[in-house]
Amino acid sequence: MSRTLYVGNLPWATKAEDLADAFSVHGEVVSSRVITDRETGRSRGFGFVEVRDEDADNMIAAMNGTDLNGRIITVNEAKPREDR
């Protein structure tokens, strides 16, 4: 089983690999992605990290409020997307 974590306030230059590297210190990362604007391809400043269920709470506690490349990031459990 895995859980998805929301990661906000990312520096614009952050790549999915950067997220995986930062989070893998605290547990197993299944996948990571940075959300980009459809039209410009630029980062929207947030992303998601999919982690093993047993590592999720530890990662949230360890990473929320920490500095990632000069910005304080927000980490919490991702909520299901609402219908538009």
pLDDT in tens, 28-60: 999 999 999 999 999 999 999 999 999 999 999
Is pLDDT above 90 for 80?
Answer: no
pTM: 0.93
For residue 55, tell me if it sits in a domain.
yes
- Domain count across the chain: 1
Range of the domain at 13: 2-77
Spell out where 1-84 has E strands: 2-8, 29-36, 43-52, 67-68, 71-72, 74-77
Q: Rounded to whole angstroms, how far apart are CA atoms 84 and 70?
A: 34
For residue 65, tell me if it sits in a domain.
yes
Strands 43-52 and 2-8: what pairing?
antiparallel
For residue 82, tell me if it sits in a domain.
no
For residue 83, tell me if it sits in a domain.
no
For residue 84, tell me if it sits in a domain.
no
Find the CATH number of the domain harbouring 51: 3.30.70.330
For residue 51, tell me if it sits in a domain.
yes
For residue 6, tell me if it sits in a domain.
yes
Is pLDDT above 90 for 83?
Answer: no
